A = this chain, B = another copy of it.
Amino acid sequence: MTTEFDLISRYFAPLAGSGGLGLKDDAALIDLLPGREFVVTTDAFVAGVHFLSSEQPGVIARRLLRTNISDLAAKGARLSGYLLTLALPNELNEDWVAAFSAGLMLDQEEYGISLLGGDTVSTSGPIVASITAIGTVLQGSMITRSGARVGDDLWVTGSIGDAGLGLKVVQGQLPQISLEDRSWLSGRFSLPTPPAGFGAALGELGLANASADVSDGLVADAGHIAKASGVRLKIDGSSVPLSDAITRAISRGLWTISEAVTAGDDYQIVFSAPHENRDRITTLAVHHSTLATRIGLVIEGRPGVELLSDTGQQIKLTKTGFQHR
């Protein structure tokens, strides 16, 4: 029988950074540079709910890590490390754990983050994996949801709706979409690309007033900012950045803009920033190879979000977001 200790020494100890003490102690130590403070977040995945058993374990691991990285990016935090908890069925093949940890190693290199500690337990149910990620910000510079001011521009990174349509594709829906687009879209669901470097820089340079990650859907997450800040957000539907695959699906009537802005799992960030920061934000985005697009304005009014069409008409949304599982 493979014990918890075996799993740790074989697969997880190699992922540990210096603070993780080789995962050989009861706890991990985290250094903090003077003048910085910690930001922490946690996200969990359950087999059959957040991932399919047919998915590659390494991809599942990376998506879980990236959903946490997305939260930290939205807060303007620089990544430090993470803790991992795994509840594993006894009958699970050790290969699954090997592939899961290999996926984490890939993303540790990609994002410059390392494992600090964790716990591995057995369960009679489906796999449950949870990560607590830790980042740092300059003291007082965490970007909250509540700082949006009337007159701010509203921005979003990346392209919106890819993961939502990608999930449908992964589930075997919409066979009308071309093989090429199906492959690209499912990849956007499987492996989102949260703007870690751009988010951290946005925080350090103090360029944004409010920010949230796009996990429940653009409108829902913008709504969190609106509610916390006590402002109204006007999103220009024609400005919402869409990938070619999404544009093609919409033009063929397979998907709508209102579905794209209410679909979850994009793991981009939506933020508000003063008008005068436009050029610096654009330059920063280019520097970090991140797409950053102005999609609307912060206005006075009842806290909420309105989505306008090309002709300035308000687009009715059938649902305002994705109730996260």
Contact = CB atoms under 8 A, between A and B. Distances in A.
A146 to B, nearest CB: 8
A7 interface: no
A142 B29 contact: yes
Contacts of A45: 121
A294 interface: no
B83 A44 contact: no
A74 interface: yes
Interface in A101-158: 116-119, 121-126, 128, 130, 132, 134-135, 137, 142, 144-146
B44 A85 contact: yes
Contacts of A126: 123-125
B46 A122 contact: yes
A116 to B, nearest CB: 6
Contacts of A323: 3-5
Given A121-B49, A125-B123, A28 B43 contact: no
A29 B136 CA distance: 9
A284 B238 CA distance: 68
A21 to B, nearest CB: 7
A4 to B, nearest CB: 6
A76 to B, nearest CB: 10
A280 interface: no
Stoichiometry, as copies per complex, reads: 2
Among A41, A45, A124, A142: residue with most chain B CB under 10 A: A41
Contacts of A4: 323-324
A44 B130 CA distance: 10
A50 B5 CA distance: 17
A118 to B, nearest CB: 6
A306 interface: no
A40 B27 contact: yes
A34 interface: yes
Given A21-B144, A24-B145, A85-B85, A325 B121 contact: yes
Nearest to A130: B85
Contacts of A25: 75, 144-146, 212, 228
A52 interface: no
A92 interface: no
Contacts of A46: 87, 121-125
Interface string A72-89: 101101000001110100
A41 B118 CA distance: 7
A42 interface: yes
A180 interface: no
Closest 5 CB pairs of A and B: A125-B125, A27-B41, A132-B132, A26-B71, A30-B38
29 contacts: A4-B323, A5-B323, A21-B144, A25-B75, A25-B144, A25-B145, A26-B74, A26-B145, A27-B71, A27-B72, A27-B77, A28-B39, A28-B40, A31-B37, A32-B32, A32-B38, A40-B134, A41-B83, A42-B119, A44-B87, A44-B119, A46-B123, A49-B123, A85-B130, A87-B128, A87-B130, A123-B128, A125-B125, A130-B130
